[in-house]
Every structure is written in C-alpha cells, then in structure tokens.
C-alpha cells in the first residue's frame, strides 16, 4: 500500500510540473461546455430567406411580416424578380425563397386557394426538410388567422415546392463533402502537432537549432510531407464518395484541389503551431484535441452557422474548416466557381499565412 501511495504522490508531482497540461485538462472542458452549450442544438433558426412579392398587396405584405416576425426565418432580401432570388440561393445568401404570385390578395378575398412557391437550397438535406415544414406551418397558420378574422374565405393555399442542388434530399450529398474535410483535419492537425515534440523527445531538436536553416525553411520542410499525405487522403476520400455514394461533382475538380491546397496549408500550420507551444507528446495531443473540438463544432457540419449565437458566428469566421466545407459543398452540389467563392479562398489563405507565420516566430532556432 505504501508503494501505491508513493506512485500517487509521484503522479501528482508530475502534474504540478506541467502547469500547461493541467490548465488544458481543468479549464478546457469548462470553456467547451460554456461555448458549446449554446451551439449544440438540433433546432433550425434564423433561416436566411428571400421574398419575391409579385402581388405587392396588403395581404402579401402581411404574410411577409408574419414570416419575418418568427424566430425561424430571417428575411435577408425582398427581391423584385426570381432571377435575383436564384442568385441569392446560388451564392449561399439564402436557404429559402418564398414567391408570392400576382393576384394573391385577390384570390384570398374571392375564396380561391392561391399558389405559393417555395424554393429551397437542398445542400443540407436535414435543414431543408425542417425549413419546408416551418414555412408550410407558418403559411397555414397565417391563412387560418385570416379566416378567423373574416378577411378571407380561402380554405388554404397550394404550395409549389422545388428543391435545388439536391432534389432528392440525399444525406450523402451533404455528409460526404463534410466528412472529407473532417478526416483531412484530423489527419493533418494531429500528425503535425507531434512533429516538433517528436524531435525534442528524440534529442534531435538541438541539432536542428545549431544548423544554419531559417525557421520558416524548417517549418516548410516539416509541412511538405504532410501536404503530400493530405492530398492522398483527399483523392481517396473523393474517389470513394463519387463512385460508391454517387455524390455529384457539378463544379471543377481542379478548384476542389485548389481549395484543398489552401485548407491543408491552414490545418497543417495550425498543427505546427500546437507543436511549437507543446513540450510533451501528451500535451500536444490534449491541445490538438481541444482545438479540434472548436474547429469541428464551429464549422457548420453538425450545426448550421445560422443557428449559432452571434458571438459564435463571428468566432467561426476564424475557423478554416467552416470556409473549406462551404466551398466543397458549393463546388460539389452547385457548381460554383471562384467568382462566387473568392471570399472563402481569401479567408483560407489569410488563416494559413497567419498560423504559419506564428509557427515560424515561435520556433526561434532554440530549444523551446
């Protein structure tokens, strides 16, 4: 029993000698619970919505106000034509378009069931189903209220639903591009986070320090092998998704690789930054996992970005996985080009350069 107490005391002493690891273990879970308690929800809210009102009657304006007054829809634009609404869907500025036809108000007053067209972005199959249910429910409740007020004799409306980019609402079309990004993140961040720590454990870090190699050159040399490995992972994952799960690639495959290049730079630089601030393999592992939870949950893969509180939406702008997943789905399902996705490309490039620069600064050719 005395020997057990000795080893218990020894382990506690080791923990005291590693305050950085202790902070990650104790404070990290508290931060995650506080942040992700607001994010981890299956509800769909603030659906970006565009209204195309061809009627411009008091009834159509009342319907528009009712949609905007709910917590489920956020009216981003009131377009004058269907062409503008299509552009909003294509660029990801809207997930739902409500088209109110001409004579909508007159048909309601005459007891005719008016047709209301609902156009949905099917990129996220689950959110699309929920959005359709919400929109139909609000429309039915609005007409029921009008009937109760004696403002109409119409028994209801005729919904005309069209789903774009994923007409059959297949889950694989949404999941596979997202899984490509998640797998790539796990491989690149975890492997590179151990690179500098591994050199220190092997006793070769001192040899690297005394060489005339510049810090940025050493960092670049550390990254290139994982660049190659990352592109192998991307190629295999995409090939499996296209051939086995029949996920369409509507856009340019070269553009997919271009965005993958920028994302691999970002994730590898992030892993390398973790490696430069970690002193032991276990510390690097815990730090990587702590960061990975932030990256995954703030990426929009599990929870739509629109559902998150404002603070989390702003914070997710610094998440490279968010921009990469958006670009992948836009290329795979919508066929978008760089003319639409250039903001995501610039964001990935900026995040990668900042993370790489910080890694080079942290490694000052001395024993960290």
Task: State pTM to two decimals.
Answer: 0.83
d(CA 320, CA 341): 14
Q: What is the 3-state secondary structure (H, E, C) of 184-241?
A: HHHHHHHHHHCHHHHHHHHCCHHHHHCCCCCHHHHHHHHHHHHHHHHHHHHHHHHHHH
Q: Is 121 exposed, middle or buried (0-12, 13-18, 19+ CB in 10 A)?
A: buried
d(CA 97, CA 182): 30
Q: Is 26 exposed, middle or buried (0-12, 13-18, 19+ CB in 10 A)?
A: exposed
pLDDT for residue 35: 64
Helix (H, G, I), strand (E, B) or coil at 245: coil
In this structure, the number of other CB atoms found within 10 A of the CB of residue 155 comes to: 10
CA dihedral (14, 17, 22, 24) positive or negative: negative
- Token duo for residue 204: 């070769």
- Taking the CA atoms of residue 180, residue 347, residue 123 and residue 45 in that order, the dihedral angle to the nearest 10 degrees is 120
User: ∠293-219-348 over CA atoms, to 5°?
Assistant: 50
Q: Is 13 exposed, middle or buried (0-12, 13-18, 19+ CB in 10 A)?
A: exposed
DSSP 318: G
Domains of the chain plus CATH, in order, are: 1-40+170-364 (no CATH), 44-149 (3.40.1710.10)
d(CA 315, CA 335): 28
pLDDT for residue 324: 95
pLDDT for residue 317: 92
Contacts of 330 (CB under 8 A, 6+ apart): 92, 123, 251, 336, 340, 341
SS3 content of the chain, % helix, strand, coil (to 5): 65, 10, 25
pLDDT for residue 367: 44
In this structure, the number of other CB atoms found within 10 A of the CB of residue 6 comes to: 10
Q: Is 306 exposed, middle or buried (0-12, 13-18, 19+ CB in 10 A)?
A: middle
Give how far the C-alpha of residue 36 lies from the chain's centroid of Cα atoms, to the nearest Å. Answer: 14
Q: Is 229 exposed, middle or buried (0-12, 13-18, 19+ CB in 10 A)?
A: middle
Per-residue pLDDT of the chain (368 residues; tens, 9 = 90+): 666 665 566 555 666 666 665 666 666 566 666 666 665 666 778 899 999 999 888 888 988 999 988 888 999 988 888 888 888 888 888 999 999 988 888 888 887 888 889 999 988 888 888 889 899 988 888 888 877 777 666 667 788 899 999 888 888 888 888 888 888 888 888 888 777 777 676 666 666 666 677 766 777 777 788 888 888 888 998 888 888 888 888 999 999 999 999 999 899 888 888 887 777 777 777 788 888 888 888 888 888 888 788 888 888 899 999 999 999 999 999 989 999 999 999 999 999 999 888 887 876 654 44
Give the number of C-alpha atoms closer than 13 A to the C-alpha of residue 149, restricted to the C-beta side.
10
Q: What is the 3-state secondary structure (H, E, C) of 269-316?
A: HHHHHHHHHCCCHHHHHHHHHHHHHHHHHCCCCCCCHHHCCHHHHHHH
């Amino acid at each position: 029993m005395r020997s057990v107490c000795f080893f218990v005391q020894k382990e506690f002493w080791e923990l005291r000698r590693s305050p950085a690891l202790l902070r990650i273990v104790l404070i990290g879970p508290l931060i995650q619970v506080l942040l992700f308690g607001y994010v981890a929800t299956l509800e769909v809210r603030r659906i970006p919505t565009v209204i195309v009102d061809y009627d411009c009657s008091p009834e159509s304006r009342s319907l528009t106000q009712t949609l905007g007054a709910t917590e489920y829809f956020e009216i981003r634009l009131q377009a004058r034509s269907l062409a503008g609404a299509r552009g909003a869907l294509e660029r990801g500025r809207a997930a739902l378009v409500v088209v109110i036809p001409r004579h909508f108000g007159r048909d309601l007053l005459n007891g005719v069931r008016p047709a209301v067209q609902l156009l949905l972005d099917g990129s996220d199959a689950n959110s699309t189903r929920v959005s359709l249910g919400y929109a139909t429910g609000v429309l039915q409740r609005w007409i029921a209220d009008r009937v109760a007020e004696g403002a109409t004799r119409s028994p209801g409306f005729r919904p005309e639903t069209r789903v774009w980019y994923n007409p059959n609402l297949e889950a694989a079309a949404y999941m596979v591009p997202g899984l490509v990004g998640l797998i790539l993140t796990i491989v690149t961040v975890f492997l590179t986070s151990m690179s500098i720590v591994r050199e220190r454990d092997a006793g070769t870090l001192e040899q690297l320090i005394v060489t005339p190699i510049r810090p940025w050159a050493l960092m670049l040399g550390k990254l290139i092998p994982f660049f190659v490995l990352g592109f192998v992972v991307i190629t295999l994952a995409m090939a499996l998704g296209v051939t086995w799960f029949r996920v369409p690639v509507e856009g340019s495959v070269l553009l997919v690789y271009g965005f993958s290049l920028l994302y691999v730079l970002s994730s590898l630089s992030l892993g390398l930054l973790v490696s430069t601030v970690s002193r032991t393999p276990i510390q690097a592992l815990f730090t990587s996992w702590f960061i990975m939870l932030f990256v995954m949950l703030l990426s929009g893969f599990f929870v739509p970005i629109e559902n998150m509180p404002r603070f989390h939406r702003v914070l997710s702008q610094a998440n490279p996985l968010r921009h990469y997943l958006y670009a992948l789905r836009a290329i795979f399902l919508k066929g978008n080009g760089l003319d639409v996705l250039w903001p995501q490309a610039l964001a990935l490039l900026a995040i990668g350069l900042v993370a790489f620069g910080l890694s080079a600064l942290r490694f000052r050719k001395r024993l960290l």
